[in-house]
Every structure is written in structure tokens, then in C-alpha cells.
Amino acid sequence: MIDAGEVARRAGLGGRTNTIMQTCFFAISGVLPREAALAKIRGAIEKSYAVKGREVVRKNFEAVDLTLSSLARVPVPEAVTSRRYRLPLVGDHAPPFVREVTARMMAGRGDELPVSAFPVDGTYPSGTARWEKRGISRVVPVWEPDVCIQCGNCSLVCPHAVIRAKFYPDKRLEGAPAPWKSAPIDARGFPEIRYSLQVYVDDCTGCALCVEVCPARDKQDSSRRAINMAAKDPVVAAERENIQFFESLPWNDRSRVDFSTVRGAQFLEPLFEFSGACAGCGETPYLKLASQLFGDRMVTANATGCSSIYGGNLPTTPWAKNAAGRGPAWSNSLFEDNAEFGLGLRLAADAHLEQARGLALELQDLIGRELVAEILGAKQRLESELRAQRARVDELKKRLTARAGPRPLALLSVADHLVRRSVWIVGGDGWAYDIGAGGLDHVLASGRDVNVLVLDTEVYSNTGGQASKATPLAAVAKFSAGGKSTGKKDLALQAISYGDVYVARVAFGANPQQTLLALREAEAYPGPSLVIAYSHCIAHGINMQHGLSQQSLAVSSGYWPLLRYNPAARASGENPFSLDSGAPRTRFREYAYNELRYRMLQQASPTHAEELMKRAEEAVTRRWATYAEMAGRGG
């Protein structure tokens, strides 16, 4: 037996155990004489790691020695004496489909399922990732209610929707389990309201972004924040109990929540949760936020890419539904046609809406003139208006169900479209800048009410980091191993040139409030909208825990200026272009050289790297001047 993870850590190999396992194999298998085998392993290490430098060779040699001294023989006992059992794959309270179909696939026994086990209409149940409880991290955040200022940052940045907040009347505390934590809500005039933050410990990936973003410090010990990473084992039982209680508290009434602030948004139920994206992924927080804001009426066309993989990875999907059964409808389409696919969803929704409106008018005597007039004339911008409309549509459906006949039935089948749909077209930069660019351009030029969210990691992430037209100057990527020598396409300016497309460039790690504002403005804008979202990614070669500070540096260096272009502003005589971040105050290289994708070139060919870096810095300055000029214009 060997604790290979521990040996790897001690030898300084991080999580890599290949050398260790190989050494174990040859040390005990007898395939080759032990000494000969070890000599061969050392030779192989020399050969394969020499290019990576002597440090790497040295560490691997050390790992071999450590392995040999840590390898222990375990006598196999006569009988099993352990009292510990594996947890069932999914809980007993999971829905039947999850227990019978999803869980079997999770167990690797999907081949045994009969075709009849699957839905017949091509749809697939959502909200299934929550049953996985992967438990992949040995450290999890622990909340300190006394230190917390209830800002909502941690919940916003968590890529896996693991941190959730609710407020509730203090009399609910009566049913709370012993380890339950809460604090009086930080709002004047509500002395009887409590606030609780819940960490779904079994779904946490241990990325620590939540800790990084927490602004509150313990007054007695400034190294501690209001949320801190700690070993999972000692807290897991208590937290499981807490989660159960947390789930018994209702989600806060959406019309009582302030959608316009990060503090408010934490109280919105995420309908994108527990995805299998990399720990600390920079893409998923945007999707989660969109799902909190618009999820219960969201329809998403998702281009192939990371977001389609973690978004719809059989057997589970992170896209979820609320207690009323409403949640985003989601489908994946190809790289080359996703924008068109999304436009199709819009056109279909519009056609259904037209049908519904026509039928409602036709049947108004039957339904009630007043109700029909209210439904057809409803403004549906604010959450309270949407809620009222939903109530009216429910009433309409109730009245229709009471009637027989083909026309009422026809209206019933499209009545849900009377509640405003939110159509989202989602994808990465490989889709938006490259392979789907023509289609995206076509859709942006259509004038239709679609919302495009580009999760920009600046490379094709899920196929392994190939360069796209979003890859920045001076960075290395596959197919651009000598450093990208041309600049990144300015997709924002391209879209702005239409004049009637809402455009925003955002980075949630630098300014979450601006991200929130942009997503809401984009959704409210009645024409095409494009939101380009900075997404830190493992393909940048960063410690993902520092993803947020890299976003801040990208913005403060002027590399990623935050902007919004809102054509609606023109109506009030204002300049539609607003620059939401200040003039560059740090150097681009300070940001870039924190990332392996830039540093690699600097190491491999310093002179060439410097040339590219200078050009990249010039490009940042030039572009800033263009933006500043645009922001300075009158309306």
C-alpha cells in the first residue's frame, strides 16, 4: 500500500502520481529485477523531464526514493471487519427518474437500461447534478456569521453555486438543528429577520474563490475572513444537517429581492448548479447569475464548447428548476450554427406568442375580456410585473381547462408564451469569434430580441487550448506556440458598429456590480444584445484561486476595459457608450506575466516575447484611447 498523493506532495510533485505508481509497480511486480527496473525508471525520468529543467528531474528522483521508503505491505485479514459503508449513489428522496435511470448511469451500468426508460420526446429531465454529491474536495469554506457583512460576493463568485443565502423570520429558528448558524439581517428596520449562508459542502470543489473575494476581516485576526477554508471531515456531518434545514426554508420572494445589487442577487435561487466544470472555472458564475436573474423563463441555445460539456454532460445536467417546476430550457447546437439555432428559438417563441395573442382575442368572451386585456397589455419588465403576468396566465389556463373544444385547447398549448421569454445564445470564444462568427454576425444584424453571452476564455478550452481569434497578442496557445503575433479581435466594437445592438464587456472578478447591471440591461433591451464575459480558465496557466485578482488586473491594466453600449440611451439624448472602468493604472505585463500562457514564451524565447509584449502594451494603450474618445462623445 502507498499513499501516493502524500508522497507526491512531499516530493513536490503536486498531484502527479505517475512516477510513484510506476515505481511501485516495478518494485513489487517482479517483471524486471528490482534494481534494473529502478535504474530504468531513473533513466526514463532523466530522458523525459530533462527538457523541463533540472528541478523537475530532481523532484522525480526524490519521488522514486520516497516511494521505495513509503511502500508498505498490508496483510489481508481473514474477514471483513470494517463498519463503514459507501453512501448510496443518490439519496432515497431523489425523483424516480434519477434513482432508476440517472443513478444507474452514474454507476457505470447505463448499458443495462432499456430504451423505454428514456423520455420519448427528446427532452431530458433537468436539475440532476444536485444528486451527484461528488465530494471532491477535502477542504470547504466555513462561514463566520459574526464577521460576515452579508455582501453576497462569495455566493456570486462561486462557480459551482455551492454558497446560497436566505433570509427568514427569526421564529423559524425554533426548528433549526443545533449546529445551525445565522445572524440578524444587516438591514435597518427588520429586527426579526435572520440571515443564513449555507455551504453545500459535498458539492464544493475547494477552489477558494469565495474566500478570496470575501471583504470582511475578523477584527481579532486579520488573516481570517468571514469565510475560511477548513478541513471538510470535521464539519461535514453538521453541514449536511444544516443543508436539510436550509432547504426547508422557502426561497425568498423574488419581488422582495433587490435585483440590482450583488447583495440582493444572493437571495435568488440559482437554476444552474453544481456543474462539473473545472474547480474555480471563470465561465460558470455568469451562467449561474443569468439563471438566478432570468432562469424561470430562460431558453438557452448553447454552442459546443466547455459550456455544452458541463452544461449537458450525461448523465446529469446542472441546469435546474425551481419548486414550481420552472427553469431554463436548454439545448446544445453545433459550433457553426448556434447563433442561428438561438434565433430559431426566438422566432418560434415569437410565432407562438402571436398565436397565443390571436387566440386569446378570439376567445376573449369565453375567457373574460378584462383578463385578456390585462394579459395582452401587460408590461413585463420588473419582477413584480412578471409575477402578476404569470398569475394571470395561470388563471387563463384554469379557465381554459374548464372548456372543451379545439380552440381553447390550442390556446392552452401556447399560453405559457404569454409570459415573456428570455432567449439566450451562449458559447465560448471559439464559437463566437471563430467558427460561429458568421452566424453570430447574422443574428446580431437581425434586430431580434436575443441575448448573446460569450464566455471568453481566449482559447478553445474544452478541446485543449487551441488559439482562437480571441487569443491575445503575445500569449501562447496550441497552434500558436510561438506566441500569438496578431491582436485579439474586438468583437465589441464590431457589434457596436451596428448601432442598434446592446453590447457589454464584463469581468465579474473585477466588478460584479457592472456584470449584474450589464446582464439585466442586455435582457431588458428589446433588440439583440451581446455580453462578452472575461472567463479565467485553466488554459491560462494560473492558480485558479487567483482568477479574480487576474480579472482585476486585466481591467486595471486597460487590457479588458469594462464597457456598455446601450442604444436605448440615445432616446434620452445620452451617449450610448459608457466606459465603466478607469484609465489604465497598472501595466499589462504585470497582469500577463502572472499567467503561464505568457510566461512560457518569456522563458523559451525572451527576446521574441519582449517584442510581442511591447506590441501588446501599445495595442492596449491605443485601444484605450479609442474607447476614451467614444465615451467622451455627446449623445
Partner 1 sequence: MVDLSTRYMGLPLEHPLVASAGPLTKELDGIKRLEDGGAAAIVMFSLFEEQIRHEAAAAEHLSEVGSESFAESLSYFPSIGGFQVGPERYLELVRRARESVGVPIIASLNGSSDDGWVEYARLLCQAGAAAIELNVYFVPADPSLTGANVEQRYLDILGAVRSEVPVPVAIKLGPFFSSFANMAKRLDDAGADGLVLFNRFYQPDFDLERREVVPALELSTPREARLPLLWLGVLHGQLRASLAASTGVESPVEVVKYLLAGADVVMTTSSLLRHGAGHLAELRAGLETWLSAHDYASVAQARGSMSHRKVSDPTAFERGNYVRALESYDSRRPSR
**Cα 519 versus chain centre, distance:** 14
* Candidate list 163, 372, 432, 532; residue touching ligand SF4; CB under 6 A: 163
Classified as helix, coil or strand, 194 is strand
Q: Which does 255 bind (CB under 5 to 8 A by kind): ligand SF4, partner 1, none?
A: none
Of 421, 325, 417, nearest to 375 by C-alpha is 417
How far is Cα 158 from Cα 230, in angstroms, rounded to an integer? 16
Q: Which is nearer to partner 1, 54 or 83 (CB)?
A: 54
Instruction: Say if residues 45 and 57 touch (Cβ distance below 8 Å).
Output: yes
Residue in 173, 351, 409, 481 binding partner 1, rule: CB under 8 A: 481
Of 95, 125, 135, 541, the one binding partner 1 (CB under 8 A) is: 541
Q: 603 contacts which partner out of partner 1, ligand SF4, none, CB within 5 to 8 A by kind?
A: partner 1
* Residue 142 in contact with ligand SF4, rule: CB under 6 A: no
Residues 588-617 that bind partner 1 (CB under 8 A): 596-597, 599-601, 603-606
Q: Is 55 in the site for partner 1 (CB under 8 A)?
A: yes
Q: Which long-range contacts (CB under 8 A, 24 or more apart) does 559-562 make?
A: 559/472, 559/588, 559/591, 559/592, 559/620, 560/505, 560/507, 560/510, 560/534, 561/505, 561/623, 561/624, 561/627, 562/505, 562/506, 562/507, 562/510, 562/511, 562/514
Q: Per CB under 6 A, does 519 bind ligand SF4? A: no
- Cβ contacts of residue 30 below 8 Å, gap of 6+? none
CA proximity to 500, closest of 424, 575, 446, 433:
446
- Contact of residue 52 among ligand SF4, partner 1, none (CB under 5-8 Å per partner type): partner 1
Distance between CA atoms of 225 and 143, rounded to whole angstroms?
9
Q: Please, which residue, 415 or 616, has the CB nearer to partner 1?
A: 616
Contact 281, 159 (CB under 8 A): yes
16 contacts partner 1 (rule: CB under 8 A) = yes
Kindly report the CA angle at 139 between 593 and 552, in degrees rounded to 5?
Answer: 30
**What span, in angstroms and rounded, lies between the C-alpha atoms of 60 and 19?**
7
Member of 476, 506, 518, 519 binding partner 1 (CB under 8 A): 476
Distance in Å, CB of 383 to ligand SF4, minimum: 22
Q: What does the buried/exposed string (b/e) look like for 455-486 if buried means 16 or more CB atoms within 10 Å of the residue's CB?
A: bbbbbbbbeebbbbbbbbbbbbbeebeebbee
Tell me: does residue 262 bind ligand SF4 (CB under 6 A). Answer: no
Q: How far is the CB of 543 from ligand SF4 (least distance, A)?
A: 12
Find the binder of ligand SF4 among 63, 199, 418, 616 (CB under 6 A): 199
Query: What span, in angstroms and rounded, lies between the C-alpha atoms of 78 and 584?
Result: 70
What minimum distance in Å lies between the beta carbon of 441 and ligand SF4? Answer: 24
- Contacts with ligand SF4 by CB under 6 A: the residue count is 39
3 state DSSP class of 416: helix
List phi, psi (to 5°) of 583. Answer: -60, 150
Task: Give yes or no for residue 507 binding ligand SF4 (CB under 6 A).
Answer: no
The H or E element that residue 265 is part of is: helix 262-265
Which residue in 102, 128, 461, 551 binds partner 1 (CB under 8 A)? 461
CA 391, CA 419: separation in Å to the nearest integer? 10
* DSSP tag of 535: -
The distance of closest approach from Cβ of residue 538 to partner 1 in the complex, given in angstroms and rounded to an integer, is 5
Q: Is 403 in the site for partner 1 (CB under 8 A)?
A: no
Q: Is 220 in the site for partner 1 (CB under 8 A)?
A: no
204 near ligand SF4, rule: CB under 6 A: yes
Which of 271, 281, 349, 425 binds ligand SF4 (CB under 6 A)? It is 281
* 148 contact partners, CB below 8 Å, separation of at least 6: 183, 197, 216, 226, 227
Q: Kindly state whether residue 465 participates in binding partner 1, applying the rule CB under 8 A.
A: yes
Does 539 sit near partner 1 (CB under 8 A)? yes
Q: Which stretch binds ligand SF4 (CB under 6 A): 274-282, 291-299, 417-425, 566-574?
A: 274-282
Is 12 one of the binding residues for partner 1 (CB under 8 A)?
A: yes
> Interface with partner 1 by CB under 8 A: which residues?
12, 14-16, 51-56, 59, 217, 222, 278, 309, 461-465, 476-481, 538-539, 541-543, 596-597, 599-601, 603-606
> Interface with ligand SF4 by CB under 6 A: which residues?
141, 143, 148-154, 158, 160, 162-163, 199, 204-210, 213-214, 216, 226-227, 277-278, 281, 283, 306, 310, 457, 461-462, 535, 537-539
